[in-house]
Structure 1
Amino acid sequence: MRRFGTLTLAVLLTVLVQAQSYVEAGGFLGFANYQGDLAHAPIEFGETKYSFGGFVKYHYGPKLHLKAHVYYGRISGDDLNASVLGTQNRNWRFTADLYEVAVGADFLPFGKPRFNRVGLFRPQINPFITVGVGSTFANKNLDYSQSGIPLGNLRTTFPEPDDKDNFLVFPLGGGLRIDFTQWTTISGEVGWRYTQSDYVEGVSVNGQAAGPDWYFFMGVTFSTYFGEQEDFGLR
């Protein structure tokens, strides 16, 4: 995680130093949720928490924006949300602070140059698809102190032997982007994170162990541009 974060920071600084107007930087504010061993519905709306972060994008072209970001989100889960009495009696719960560093790309299938051939800015509204790869550190707190299951009946002890706080993630999502002035852009986006871990909440062998956990961020972004004016779509 530390090496990946250092590499991403170096990329961000390099991009900003060489910035033209096809480089944008901004912030993200939204919500976080998760799907795993302590989530008992596709989305537990009552467990929705906050998320925020920052990003830099390089406009390789009107249809492709390369991206690096650092996001934070809090997630949680609780057996009391289950509909099965036995799971409720297990009475486990957790919270986790997620720190995600990732690189990726936004694809805008209908994207056009932001300036026409005579140099006039043209506002745009574009849907986009985003994909990426990154690393997440999960600072988690699993509470089983009020459990109705004797600890001696567990398959293994907590923390589980293979539990790790660092794991690889693959962001996948999309949204709607609005370029409404020459220097400012807003967008709404939702992104699922397929993780290479079944320990986002710290439970695997003692839970379902059915596959990797997921989490997602959903929210809005605001960004601004740096450097000189673009080359009017002549690239």
Structure 2
Amino acid sequence: MPKLLTVIFLLFISVKVSGQTWEVGAALGGFGYMGDLNTNNPVKINQPAASVFGKYNFNGYIAAKLSFTLGNIRGADSTSNDEQVRNRNLSFYTPLRELALLAEFNFMKYIPEAGKNKYTPYVFLGAGITSYAPRTRANGNVISLRHLRTEGQENEYSTRTAVIPFGAGFKYNFTGKCTIAAELGYRYTFTDYLDDVSGVYAERSRLPLPLSVAMADRSGERLGYNIGTPGSQRGDFRPRDMYLFAGFTISYTFVTSKCYFDN
């Protein structure tokens, strides 16, 4: 992660700067999730999310963006079309709090109000950190899952993960120095426990609490008997979870150098 941040920083300082602008904005949209409880739908949005950001435009093509995004993700086997997955009967939700630094590249030279192009597609890539805390509901109660170590982990998994955000969007200068944009971005994470599910069912003797046993295998709540044989598959065996943010942004650009318009 430090290496990626260094690459982004070097990219910024390598740009010949003949003028600069600052830009501030906000976004509204939704979070989606891809992991052990959603293996097939990479564009499923199921929870609202919001973001605020500040951006430093080096020229009409390249910008550095610092963003803070918050919302929730969730998943439930009960919504699956696969009966075997429904029988597993796991579910989770977790709040996400993401801080990210992004490099943004416009395909067309874009300067709100002053440039000749009123719109441009763009792409972005960056690095960030996200906090997460998976929970579930059982018998009307909210249950925090990390400390239960439901797969027999020796230690609790982390409260945070590094993320690599990447994606694309389309922006439009609809009036003055104001810009609206539509954006879709994915976050590659460095954890497989956004959903508290990863590998195989553990031996009950390895689980630290009676509640750990109950939350590790919830098939009995649906079937009347448990199917989680120790050593059998619990997760999808993919090494990382991902999530996405899709939404609309609105921003305002402050021009700090007149020569910026002459680029």
The alpha carbon displacement at 1:221 in A equals 0.4
Give the Cα–Cα distance (whole angstroms) in 2 for the partners of residues 231 and 44 of structure 1.
Answer: 41
Letter aligned with residue 168 of structure 2: G
CA contact (8 A) 2:110 2:120 kept: no
Deviates more, 1:124-133 or 1:220-229: 220-229
Specify whether residues 35 and 145 from structure 1 end up closer, same or farther in structure 2 by C-alpha distance, changes over 3 A only. farther
SS where residue 231 of structure 1 aligns? helix
Partner residue of 1:80 out of 69, 78, 81: 78
CA contact (8 A) 1:94 1:142 kept: yes
Q: Does 1:39 align with 2:33?
A: no
1:116-157 deviation line (CA, Å, top 9, x unaligned): xxxx554511000011100000122135779xxxxxxxxx73
> RMSD value over aligned CA atoms?
2.5
Aligned to 1:179: 173
CA contact (8 A) 1:136 1:166 kept: yes
Give the Cα–Cα distance (whole angstroms) in 2 for the partners of residues 182 and 167 of structure 1.
Answer: 39
Partner residue of 1:157 out of 141, 150, 161: 150
Aligned to 1:93: 91
Please show how residues 186-197 of structure 1 align to structure 2 within 5 Å. Answer: 186-197=180-191
1:152-191 deviation line (CA, Å, top 9, x unaligned): xxxx735744522200100010010112333211100000
Aligned to 1:211: 239
Count of aligned residue pairs for this structure pair: 202
The structure whose Rg is larger is 2
Partner residue of 2:258 out of 224, 230, 234: 230
Letter aligned with residue 213 of structure 1: D
CA contact (8 A) 1:62 1:111 kept: yes
1:42-66 deviation line (CA, Å, top 9, x unaligned): 2474x61101010011111111011
TM-score, normalised by the number of residues in structure 2? 0.69
Aligned to 1:25: 24
Deviates more, 1:69-78 or 1:175-184: 175-184
CA contact (8 A) 2:112 2:253 kept: no
Letter aligned with residue 27 of structure 1: A
CA contact (8 A) 1:29 1:52 kept: yes
SS where residue 86 of structure 1 aligns? helix
CA contact (8 A) 1:92 1:144 kept: no
Q: Which runs of 5+ in 1 are unaligned?
A: 1-19, 147-155
Aligned to 1:67: 65
Q: Percent identity?
A: 27
SS where residue 129 of structure 1 aligns? strand
CA contact (8 A) 2:71 2:97 kept: yes
The alpha carbon displacement at 1:203 in A equals 1.3
Give the Cα–Cα distance (whole angstroms) in 1 for the partners of residues 73 and 239 of structure 2.
Answer: 18
TM-score, normalised by the number of residues in structure 1? 0.77
Give the Cα–Cα distance (whole angstroms) in 2 for the partners of residues 49 and 94 of structure 1.
Answer: 13
